[in-house]
């Protein structure tokens, strides 16, 4: 049975295990991606109890949202939690904008592409360097009052930018880089989030695939940003032993660890096809003992 959770101080309820969709309709990142695979991945996730779908304008420059719109058509919209993000300026995607007028347009455009009249979560995807963050969040709060979105999120903000954004207590959820091999958020961010009842969603929970254990060599230094490759492999060997006792995969055991972590609200592993989505959703059935949780906590 899929565990459920609540976002921040809102009444948005969702599955603790979600799905990241930067490999759904995101041909700008990977031209080999096929829409049919992305659509099947989203539907497989939903069919296995996942209700939180995490997308962004930047994934396919709106196309990920369009593929998701198609994928969710057969389902009851109210049972799903649609989270999207924007900040990249269309036509100039290396530039960010958080101005109220930009955010209003970004929300309306996302609603149109997703084929819905409300977003469950809207994140400012990246901070720009010129908009007052409280002003940006106030614009989102206006849209919340208008019924266009239900929860306000920010992503890739420094702690100082988050504090500025949350000065009226209106931020509900933060999405940032965090995984067992990238734990900086624990020092300052997590205590702030706890104190302010803000939810946390880690991105790259599987270190972009490295933590599945399937990569035994680093193709072209692709994983260098996640730390020492040899050290991570020895951590994975420890996790593999626990996975074997659960008749589970390494990825499933690690996803179970994130689900059991009290600082994490929803975990959103990415999947490029239905097979990956189904395997990831099955992590809901893995229950770790406290001892196993501690071993994984120390494994890397």
Q: Which residues carry out catalysis?
A: 59
Among 16, 23, 133, 182, binds ligand NAP (CB under 6 A): 23
State the residue number with the nearest CB to ligand NAP.
270
Q: Which of residues 57 and 190 has its CB atom nearest to ligand NAP in the complex?
A: 57
Q: Is residue 209 part of the contact set for ligand NAP (CB under 6 A)?
A: yes
Q: Is residue 175 part of the contact set for ligand NAP (CB under 6 A)?
A: yes
**Residues 230 and 218: beta-carbon distance below 8 Å:** no
- Token pair 């099947």 is found at 40
Convert residues 37-56 into a mask of x (bound to ligand NAP by CB under 6 A) and - (unbound).
-----------------x--
Cα 179 to Cα 182: distance, rounded to the nearest angstrom:
5
Q: Which of residues 95 and 146 has its CB atom nearest to ligand NAP in the complex?
A: 95
Min dist CB 9 to ligand NAP, Å, is: 21
Under 8 Å CB-to-CB from 69, ≥6 apart: which residues? 113, 114, 115, 116
Give the CA diameter of the chain. 54
Q: Point out which residues pair with 151 in neighbouring strands.
A: 121
Q: Which of residues 87 and 147 has its CB atom nearest to ligand NAP in the complex?
A: 87
Q: Is residue 22 part of the contact set for ligand NAP (CB under 6 A)?
A: yes
* Listed ranges 37-45, 130-138, 209-217, 237-245: which one lies at the site for ligand NAP (CB under 6 A): 209-217
Q: How many other C-beta atoms can be found within 10 angstroms of the C-beta atom of residue 298? A: 9
Min dist CB 85 to ligand NAP, Å, is: 6
Among 200, 203, 257, 300, binds ligand NAP (CB under 6 A): 203
Q: Which of residues 23 and 144 has its CB atom nearest to ligand NAP in the complex?
A: 23
Among 205, 243, 257, 300, binds ligand NAP (CB under 6 A): 205
Among 15, 43, 51, 276, binds ligand NAP (CB under 6 A): 276
Under 8 Å CB-to-CB from 202, ≥6 apart: which residues? 175, 176, 177, 178, 179, 185, 258, 264, 267, 268
Residue list 230-269, contact with ligand NAP (CB under 6 A) = 251, 268-269
* Listed ranges 19-27, 39-47, 71-79, 129-137: which one lies at the site for ligand NAP (CB under 6 A): 19-27
Residue list 100-139, contact with ligand NAP (CB under 6 A) = none
Among 194, 214, 222, 294, binds ligand NAP (CB under 6 A): 214
Binding residues (CB under 6 A) for ligand NAP: these are 20-23, 54, 155-156, 175, 203-209, 212, 214, 251, 268-272, 276, 279-280
């Amino acid at each position: 049975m899929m565990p459920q959770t609540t976002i921040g101080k809102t009444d948005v309820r969702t599955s603790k295990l979600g799905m990241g969709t930067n490999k759904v309709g995101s041909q700008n990142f990977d031209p080999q991606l096929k829409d049919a695979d992305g659509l099947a991945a989203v539907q497989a996730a939903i069919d296995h109890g996942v209700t939180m779908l995490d997308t962004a304008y930047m994934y396919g420059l709106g196309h990920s949202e369009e593929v998701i719109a198609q994928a969710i058509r057969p389902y009851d919209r109210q049972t799903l939690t649609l989270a999207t993000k924007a900040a990249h300026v269309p036509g100039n995607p290396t530039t960010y904008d958080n101005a109220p007028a930009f955010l209003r347009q970004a929300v309306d455009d996302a609603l149109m592409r997703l084929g819905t009249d409300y977003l469950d979560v809207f994140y400012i995807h990246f901070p720009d360097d010129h908009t007052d963050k409280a002003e940006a969040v106030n614009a989102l709060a206006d849209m919340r009052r208008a019924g266009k979105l239900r929860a306000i999120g920010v992503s890739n903000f420094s702690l100082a930018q988050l504090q500025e954004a949350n000065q009226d207590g209106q931020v509900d959820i933060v999405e940032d880089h965090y995984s067992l091999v990238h734990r900086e958020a624990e020092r300052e961010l997590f205590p702030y989030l706890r104190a302010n009842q803000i939810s946390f969603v880690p991105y790259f929970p599987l270190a972009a695939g490295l933590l599945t254990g399937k990569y035994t060599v680093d193709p072209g230094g692709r994983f260098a940003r996640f730390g020492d490759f040899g050290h991570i492999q020895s951590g994975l060997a420890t996790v593999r032993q626990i996975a074997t006792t659960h008749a589970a995969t390494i990825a499933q055991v690690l996803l179970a660890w994130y689900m059991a972590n009290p600082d994490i609200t929803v975990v959103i592993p990415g999947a490029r096809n239905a097979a990956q989505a189904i395997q990831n959703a099955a992590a809901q059935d893995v229950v770790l003992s406290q001892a196993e949780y501690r071993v994984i906590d120390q494994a890397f």
